[in-house]
Amino acid sequence: MRVTFLGTGSAMPTADRVQTGILLEDGDRTLLVDCGSGVLHRLSQTDVGYEGVSTVLLTHHHLDHVSDLLPLLKARWLAGEEHLEVVGPTGTKELLDGLLDLHDYLQDRIDLAVREVRADSFEVAGFDVEGYEVRHSMDCLAYRFDDGFVFSGDTEAFDGLARFADGADVLAHDCSFPDEVDVANHPTPTQLGEALAGCDVGRVYLTHLYPHTEGKHREMLDSVEATFDGDVRFARDGLRFEI
Ligand SMILES: [Zn+2]
Ligand SMILES: [Zn+2]
């Protein structure tokens, strides 16, 4: 499986980090996970392009994870593509219905399938996925893909999620802020390290990075590594790796 970070920013994007989006590719299978602002443009910079991505899997419905959904739908329509499937937690149908009510000229331009999933096993775009309910300010699912890659979505760090990720080759985890920012619904690096302590994960990428993290990468890594004895790195837009 090839994983590409399209967007590693947050609701406050920076010049180098658009909002959340991760591209998974394996042979003919492609899947976009989350579709925040800027992700459509980042997708256009890849070989597969928005023409090659017909399925989007959402972790949750905050704007920085869904705001490029209709721009993606419209770009695919204009490119002559006929399908788009959007899969996500409870409320995904209502979200898409609402968006298309508002932008009704996009109704029926493309064959849109919407599917809701829970914290369970399911298949999407040919990938075997396990969902896991995480701790955020709205319902949000972490996902484990083909048993090798785990994405936390937006969440606090906690033992249950660390166990869910245990044994994975790579975990991409929300690490929105440095330690000095007092925050709920996202972890600090110290909290992330403590949750991951003793966990067997090949590599951890820190993502969903707010501007507050700029210039703080070394100290954030030190904080995670104070209790987690593993390979920890910062994600960045365009970073690609194979599992
Ligand atoms: Zn969120
Ligand atoms: Zn977010």
pLDDT, tens digit (0-9, with 9 covering 90-100), for 14-53: 999 999 999 999 999 999 999 999 999 999 999 999 999 9
Reading phi first (left if > 0) and then psi (alpha if -120 to 50, else beta), residue 233 is in beta
Residue 223 lies in a domain: yes
Dist CA 23 CA 2 (whole Å): 8
The total number of structural domains in the chain stands at 1
pLDDT tens string 63-120: 999 999 999 999 999 999 999 999 999 999 999 999 999 999 999 999 999 999 999 9
How many angstroms does the Cα of residue 80 sit away from the middle of ligand 2? Answer: 31
| Residue 233 is assigned to a structural domain of this protein | yes
Letter for the amino acid at 92? Answer: T
Point out the ligand nearest to the CA of residue 13.
Answer: 2
Confidence of residue 62 (pLDDT cuts 50, 70, 90): very high
Q: Give the whole-angstrom CA distance, residue 233 versus residue 217.
A: 9
Spacing, Cα 76 to ligand 2 middle (Å): 24
Average pLDDT over residues 152-156: 98
Across residues 145-169, what is the average pLDDT? Answer: 97
pLDDT digit string (tens) for 169-183?
999 999 999 999 989
Sign of CA dihedral 135, 168, 46, 95: negative
Q: How close is the Cα of 92 to the center of ligand 2, in Å?
A: 16
- Strands across the sheet with 170-174, in order? 121-124, 127-133, 141-145, 149-151, 170-174, 203-207, 232-234
Residue 182 lies in a domain: yes
pLDDT of residue 200: 96
Residue 243 belongs to a domain: no
Residue 50 lies in a domain: yes
154 within domain boundaries: yes
Q: Which residues lie at CB < 5 A from ion ligand 2?
A: 62, 64, 154
Which residues are known to be catalytic? Answer: 64
Query: What's the gap in Å between 127 CA and the centre of ligand 1?
Result: 24
The per-residue pLDDT for 100 is 98
Instruction: Round to the nearest angstrom and report the end-to-end CA distance of the chain.
Output: 5
pLDDT digits (tens, 9 = 90+) for 164-214: 999 999 999 999 999 999 899 999 999 999 999 999 999 999 999 999 999
Tell me how far the alpha carbon of residue 65 lies from the centroid of ligand 2, in angstroms: 6
CATH number of the domain that 79 lies in?
A: 3.60.15.10
Once rounded to an integer, what is the mean pLDDT over residues 125-129? 98
Q: Tell me the residue range of the domain where 35 lies.
A: 2-238
CB-neighbour burial class of residue 89 (10 A; exposed 0-12, middle 13-18, buried 19+): buried
Question: Does residue 169 sit within a domain?
Answer: yes
**How many of the other CB atoms lie within 10 Å of CB of 114?**
15
**Which ligand has the nearest atom to the CA of 208?**
2
Provide the pLDDT for residue 147: 81
pLDDT at 131 over 90: yes
Provide the 8-state DSSP code for 50: G
Ligand number nearest CA of 20 is: 2
Q: Is the pLDDT of residue 12 over 90?
A: yes
